[in-house]
Chain A
Amino acid sequence: MSESLLCVLTEDLLIRVLHHLHSHADRKSWRLVCKHLHRVESLTRTTIRILRIEFLLSLLHKFPNIQELDLSLCPRIDDGAVRIMLTQGSPTWTRGLKRLLLSRATGLGHSGLEQLVRACPLLEAVDVSHCWSFGDREAAAISCGTGLREVNMDKCLGLTDIGLARIAVGCSRLQSLSLKWCFEISDLAVDLLCKKCLHLKFLDVSYLKLLIWFSVLTHHPIPLIFGLMFIFCCFTTPERVEITSESLQSIASLLNLEVLVMVGCSLVDDAGLRYLENGCPLLKAIDVSRCNCISSSGLISLVSGHQDLVQIGAGYCLSELSAPLVHCLKNLKQLSVIRIDGVRVSDFILQTIGKNCKSIVELGLSKCVGVTNMGIMQLVSGCDSLKILDLTCCRSITDAAISTIADSCPDLVCLRLESCDMVTENCIYHLGSSCLLLEELDLTDCSGINDTALKYLSGCSELLRLKLGLCTNISDIGLSHIAYSCPKIAELDLYRCVYIGDDGLAALASGCRKLMKLNVSYCNRITDKGMEYLSHLSELSELEMRGLSNVTSIGIKAVALSCKRLADLDLKHCEKIDDSGFWALAFYSQNLRQINLSNCNVSDVVLCLLMGNLKRLQDAKLVHLFKVTVKGVELALRACCGRIKKVKLQSSLRFLISLEILETLQARGCKVRWD
Chain B
Amino acid sequence: MDKEESLCTNTWTQTNRGNGLQTNLSSDPSSSDYGVRVETPFKDFNQPSQMQSLLSKNVTKIAVQENCAPSDLSGTNILQNWDASLMLNNLSFLEKKVHQLQEIVCLIASQKGQTFGERNELLTQEQQLITSDLTSIIVQLISSAGSLLPSARHTLTNTSPLIQQLCQLQGITVPSASGSGQSSVQPQINGANKLSESSVQNDQSNNCELEQKYKVEEHELKDEEDGDDGENLLPGSYEILQLEKEEILAPHTHFCTICGKGFKRDANLRMHMRGHGDEYKTAAALAKPHKESESQPELIKRYSCPYAGCKRNKDHKKFQPLKTILCVKNHYKRTHCDKNYTCSRCHIKKFSVMADLKTHEKHCGKDKWLCSCGTTFSRKDKLFGHIALFQGHTPAIPMEDNRRTTCLPDHDNQDNSKARGMSFSFGLNPSSENGVQNVMDVKGNMDDPVTCFSPLNFEANFGGYNEFTQPQFDDSEGSFSFLIPESFKSGGVSSSDNVL
Contact = CB atoms under 8 A, between A and B. Distances in A.
Contact of B499 (A59, A80, A162, A613): A59
Interface stretch (B187-195, B262-270, B313-321, B470-478): B470-478
A643 B381 CA distance: 40
A140 B401 CA distance: 14
A588 B388 CA distance: 56
A631 B427 contact: yes
B500 A79 contact: no
Given A54-B482, A143-B394, A613-B461, A192 B388 contact: yes
A410 to B, nearest CB: 35
Interface string A44-64: 000011111111111101100
Contacts of A642: 442, 445-446, 452
A632 B406 contact: no
Interface string B380-422: 1100100110001111010000111111100000001001100
Contact of B406 (A111, A158, A170): A111
Interface string A4-39: 000000000000000000001000100110010010
B234 interface: no
A interface, how many residues as a size bin?
35 or more
A198 interface: no
A169 B392 contact: yes
Contacts of A137: 397, 402
A188 interface: yes
A496 interface: no
B450 A59 contact: no
Contacts of A140: 394, 397
A615 B496 contact: no
A287 to B, nearest CB: 27
B387 A564 contact: no
Contact of B496 (A31, A109, A192): A31
Interface in A568-617: 583, 587-588, 590, 604-605, 608-609, 612-613, 615
B439 A81 contact: no
A282 B453 CA distance: 50
Given A76-B452, A79-B449, A161-B380, A192 B387 contact: yes
State the main secondary structure of chain A at its contact with B: helix
A156 B408 CA distance: 22
A612 B499 CA distance: 22
Nearest to A642: B446
Interface residues of B, number: 60
A635 interface: yes
A654 interface: no
B33 interface: no
Given A55-B478, A58-B495, A604-B427, A612 B439 contact: yes
Contacts of A588: 470
A48 B495 CA distance: 12
B463 interface: no
Contacts of B475: 52, 54, 590, 615
A55 B482 contact: yes
Contact of B453 (A84, A583, A613): A84
A564 B497 contact: yes
A133 interface: yes
Interface string B355-397: 0000000000000000000000000110010011000111101
Most buried by A among B384, B468, B470: B384
A638 interface: yes
Contacts of A671: none
Contacts of B380: 161, 188
Interface string B448-472: 1110110000000100010010100
Contacts of B445: 642
B485 interface: yes
Contacts of A62: 491, 495
Contacts of A491: none
Contacts of A35: 492
B394 A170 contact: yes
Given A54-B482, A642-B452, A78 B406 contact: yes
Contacts of B473: 590
A124 interface: no
Interface stretch (A372-380, A470-478, A502-510, A660-668): A660-668
Contacts of B492: 31, 35, 38
B257 interface: no
A36 to B, nearest CB: 12
Nearest to B487: A58
Contacts of B453: 53-54, 84
Nearest to A664: B416
A166 interface: yes
B493 interface: yes
A608 B388 contact: no
Given A51-B498, A79-B406, A166-B394, A608 B428 contact: yes
A384 B404 CA distance: 56
Contacts of A24: 500
Contact of B481 (A58, A76, A192, A664): A58
Given A169-B392, A608-B428, A638 B439 contact: yes
A251 to B, nearest CB: 15
Nearest to A28: B496
B405 A59 contact: no
B498 A109 contact: no
B427 A635 contact: yes
Interface in B49-79: none
B448 A80 contact: yes
Interface in A176-195: 188-189, 191-192, 195
Interface string A79-91: 1110110001000
Contacts of B479: 54
A604 B428 CA distance: 8
A196 B388 contact: yes
B393 A638 contact: no
Contacts of B443: 638
B429 interface: yes
A188 B387 CA distance: 11
A61 B485 CA distance: 8
Interface in B119-175: none
A382 interface: no
Contacts of B402: 137
A54 B481 contact: yes
Contacts of A61: 485
Interface in A428-472: none
A587 B468 CA distance: 8
B424 interface: yes
Contacts of B42: none
Contacts of A609: 465
Nearest to A31: B496
24 contacts: A31-B496, A51-B499, A53-B453, A53-B482, A55-B499, A58-B488, A59-B495, A79-B407, A80-B452, A81-B449, A88-B483, A133-B403, A137-B397, A165-B395, A166-B394, A169-B394, A188-B381, A191-B384, A608-B439, A634-B423, A638-B439, A666-B404, A667-B408, A669-B404
Give the 7 A-B residue pairs with the shortest CB-CB distance, closest first. Answer: A80-B449, A642-B446, A109-B406, A54-B478, A169-B394, A49-B500, A162-B395
Interface of B: 380-381, 384, 387-388, 392-395, 397, 402-408, 416, 419-420, 423-424, 426-429, 438-439, 442-443, 445-446, 448-450, 452-453, 461, 465, 468, 470, 473-475, 478-479, 481-483, 485, 488, 491-493, 495-500
